[in-house]
Structure formats: C-alpha cells, structure tokens
Structure 1
Amino acid sequence: MNPKSRREQIQQLVEEQGKVEIDQLTEALQVSHMTVRRDLALLEEEQKLIRTHGGAVLPKALVKETPYVSKETKELQAKRSIAEKAVSIVGQGATILVDSGTTTLEIVRLLKNREDVTIITNDIKIAAELVDAKPRCIVTGGEVQPKVGALYGAHAYDLLRSIHVDLFILGAHAVHSHVGVTAPTLEKAKMKQLMIQAAEQTWLVCDSSKFNEKSFAHVCELHEVEGLVTDDRLSDTELEEFHQNCVKAPL
C-alpha cells in the first residue's frame, strides 16, 4: 500500500470510529509504529485529525475548557435532576472522592446534612460549600486552575496515591461511546485517572449535552466505570449504546 492510500485508510478509520489507537493501525496496515506516527503527524498538519496519547481523534468535536462562570447556570435543571439520582449511590458511612465541576457541586449540596460521609475533593468551590456542612471534608491541595477552581499538580497527585476510598464521583467534559471519557488538558485527565485508581467504584455523572463529544486528553474507557447517571434527554438507542459499554445500566 502506498503512503497516500495508507493515510486515506487511517482517515477513514478515524471518521468511522471517532478514535484510533497506534497499535490498532499498525496491525491493520501491517506497518511499523514509526510509520503510523509519521502518517498521523502529516494528517494532523492537514487538520484531518488530532493526535492524542497513543492514537488520534477527529478534530471537529474537541471540547475546550469552560470557565466556571460560563457553566455555573448552564443545564442547571438537568444537573439538579442528576444530583437527585446520584445521591442514592452514596452508601452509609461512605468515603467518597468528588470530582471538580458544577454537576458534582449539585450532588454535594444534597449531601450537606450527611454526618456519616467523608468527602475528598479537588474543587475549591465544593470545599467552600462544605465549610459549614456536616460531612467531613478533605481537600487534595495543589495548584488552583484559574477561572475554574479545580486543583491539580504534584501535591494533589501525592495525596491521591496515598488514599483508598469507597466511591469516586467522576465529572466529564466529553463522553463518547467509542472514545470514552475525555478532558481538555493532560493535567485534568491525570487527576481523574488517579481518582479512579484510588476508588473501589467509579460512577460517571454528566448531563446529556456532554455525550457524543470528544476532548483532548483521554481519561478512561466507559467499561472502567461502574455506571453513569445522566438526565432523561438521551434516546433509548443512545442509552443502550452507552449501557453496552458500561458495567451497569445508567441511572
């Protein structure tokens, strides 16, 4: 196969699947990793895809970081509906990691009277919400992300590596049935990955506007989460597709 045909086949696979892995391409095309990386670099220069860690995704659907003030009231009713469902997965006496975000903030607001739970978070706004509340609150520490309020960096990574919790409530910028959960930055993706590793179970919570979207940095595959909690605006077909990739059915 000549280089032009090979790159056309790569582009076709990306368009069909939304995401491709280098190992997958080397096997399908019977070429070396170096050849695939060179092809991906050329296709990225032509703006036909965006390279990610270990592969590539379509460029047109990447979701960027959103400042807190821009998302605070967006999809608010859906987020509150999700929160009402999500609190049912927080067991008696649970120790939980709560991801940064406005959907997770709504969940925490419903947990404020739970004396039995311990909440660990990487979000300064969630921590502020718990200042006068009943749950025990632990903050990961780290550098504050400007205009967002999320924490990340070496101090946060060290804490997450040193703990083990019952539950991680994972927020998402973008969720795709084939690509999985993605985040706008590598730092944010790493925080989420360390939280997943620290928890017995991970539940994904996000409103339906985040589905069928992709962002820059890979967090996890859908089969790595126990289940997902979302609103009621996804079609039965879409729910079934995501359900097939999760361990449990959506709530």
Structure 2
Amino acid sequence: MLQAERRNNIIQELHIDGTVHIEQLASKFKVSAMTIRRDLAALEKEGQLVRSHGGAVLPESMAQEVPYQTKLSSFKEEKEQIAKKAVELVPENSRILLDSGTTNLEIAKLLKSRRDLVIVTNDAKISMELLHSESTVISTGGELQKDIGAFIGTHVQEMLRNIKVDVVFLGANAVDLTDGISTPSMEKAYIKKLMVRSARAKWVIADHSKFNKQAFAHVCTFDEVNGIITDDQIDDQTRQQLEKETNVY
C-alpha cells in the first residue's frame, strides 16, 4: 500500500471510530509502529488529527480545560451522586487527598462535618469550603491557575512528593477505555501522577460526560488505580467495557 493511501485510510478509520491506536494500525497495514508514528506526525501537521498516548484522536474530541464557573453548573446532580459514593470509601481517621475540581468540591461538602480526617487539597474553592471543618485541612498552596481554581507549580509538586495519604480522589478531564486517564496539560498530568504515587487507595472520579474522550497529557492507566466512581448516566456498553478494566462504582 502506498503511503498516501495508508494515510487516507487512517483518517477514514479515525472518522469512524473517533480514535486510532498505533499498534492496531501497524498490524492492520503490516508496517512498523515507527512508520505509523511518522504517518500520525505528518497528519497532525496537516491539522487532521491530534496525537495522543499510543495513537491519535480527532481534534474536536480532545478534552479541554473548562473554567470553574462553567463546571460548577454542569452535571451537578451527577457530581453529587458521585460524591455520596465516594465518601463511603473514606475510612475513619484517614488522610485524604482531594484533587482540584467541582466533583471533589461536592465530596468536600460531605466531608466537612467530620472531625477525624486530615484533608489535603490543591484547590482554592475546596480549601474555602473546608474553612470551618473540624478536621485538619492542608492546602498545597502554589501558583493559582486563573479561572480554574487549581494550585499548580513546583511548590505543589514538592509537597506531593513528600506526603503519604490513605485515599486520593483523582479528577479526570478525559477517560478512554484503551488509554486510561488524561488531562489537557503536561503540568496538571504530572501533579496527578504525583497524587497517584502518594496514596494507598486511588479512586478516579468522573461523570459520564468524561468517557470515550482523550486529552493531551496522559496521567495513568486503569491498572494504576483501584477503580472509577461515576454516575448512573453512563451508557451500558461503556460501563461493561470499563468493568473489564477496573472496579466501577
């Protein structure tokens, strides 16, 4: 098969499935993975796709960072449902790490009446929500991400390298059944990786709108976490496929 024909076929497959994977393409076209990587790089330069961890997606399917105020009003009932499930997984006298985001804000609202916890967060809104909590609350501090409300930067990274917690609730911008969890920026991905390393129990929290999407920077695969907590609006097929990979609540 000629190079141009192969690349046209890649684009056709991408428009059918929404995502393509290097190893599958290499097997299908009987070429090396390096050849497919070159094809994807060339097609990305033409603006026809965006390369992701292990493959590529259509540009419009890439999850982007959403301003805090927009997220606050999106899928509120679903996030409350997720929060109720999540707090059931918080043991007494435990150390909890709440990633930034509005779903974790709902978890914070349910935890703030407890007196037995140490709660660490890199989210300004969550810190304020816990202002009058009887539990110990620790904010990572750092550079405040404008319009998002998350703390980022080396200060956050250094703190996360030096703590150990019992449970982390990890926010997810995008969840892909093949590639796992991803987020729009390399820096946010690195912070989330450090969160995963710091915790004994690792739970991803994601409402149904986050599934079958990819973002720019890879965070982790399903075998690196204990499971995913989601809402009951996730479609049956996605749930069944996800349950083959990890625990789903």
TM exceeds 0.5?
yes
SS in 1 for 2:88: helix
Question: How many equivalent residue pairs?
Answer: 247
Would the aligned equivalents of 1:190 and 1:219 in 2 still touch at CA under 8 Å?
A: yes
Decide whether aligned partners of structure 1 residues 19 and 220 sit closer, same or farther in structure 2, where only a CA change above 3 A counts. farther
Residues 91-129 of structure 1: CA deviation (Å, up to 9, x unaligned): 111111111000100001100122111111110111111
Residue 222 of structure 1: aligned partner: 222
In the other structure, the counterpart of 2:133 is 133
Aligned to 1:212: 212
Q: 1:68 touches 1:147 (CA, 8 Å); kept in 2?
A: yes
Residues 221 and 58 from structure 1, CA distance in 2 versus in 1: closer, same or farther, beyond 3 angstroms?
A: farther
Q: Quick check: 166-175 or 10-19, which moved more?
A: 10-19
Match of 2:47 in 1: 47
Maintained 8 Å contact 1:71/1:102:
yes
Partner secondary structure for residue 103 of structure 1? helix
Give me the identity figure in percent: 43
Deviations 1:76-103 (A, max 9, x none): 1111111111100011111111110001
Cα RMSD of the aligned pairs, angstroms, is 2.2
Amino acid at match of 2:158: D
1:96–1:167: 8 Å Cα contact kept in structure 2? yes
* Cα distance in 1, alignment partners of residues 56 and 19 from structure 2: 8
Counterpart of 1:41 in structure 2: which amino acid? A
Give me the TM-score of the superposition, normalised by structure 1: 0.89
Q: Runs of 5+ in structure 1 lacking a partner? A: none
CA distance in 2: counterparts of 1:57 and 1:84, whole angstroms: 33
1:44–1:31 Cα change, 3 Å: same
Query: Does 1:196 find its partner at 2:177?
Result: no
Aligned-partner residue type, residue 121 of structure 1 = T
Q: Give yes or no for contact 1:13–1:20 (8 Å, CA) kept in 2.
A: no
The aligned counterpart of 2:145 is 145
- TM-score for both structures, normalised by structure 2: 0.89
Instruction: Quote the residue 1:237 is aligned against.
Output: 237
Q: Which amino acid aligns with 1:125?
A: K
Residue identity opposite 1:18 in structure 2: T
Counterpart of 2:2 in structure 1 is 2
Matched, 1:159 2:146: no
Q: Distance in 1 between matches of 2:61 and 2:178?
A: 13
Q: Structure 1 residue 6: deviation in Å?
A: 3.8
For residues 32 and 12 of structure 1, what CA distance do their matches in structure 2 show?
Answer: 19
What is the aligned partner in structure 2 of residue 31 from structure 1? 32
Partner of 1:168: 168
Q: Distance in 1 between matches of 2:95 and 2:121?
A: 11
| Distance in 2 (alpha carbons) for counterparts of 1:60 and 1:229 | 26
* 1:7-26 matches, cutoff 5 A: 7-8=7-8, 10-11=10-11, 14=14, 16=17, 18-21=19-22
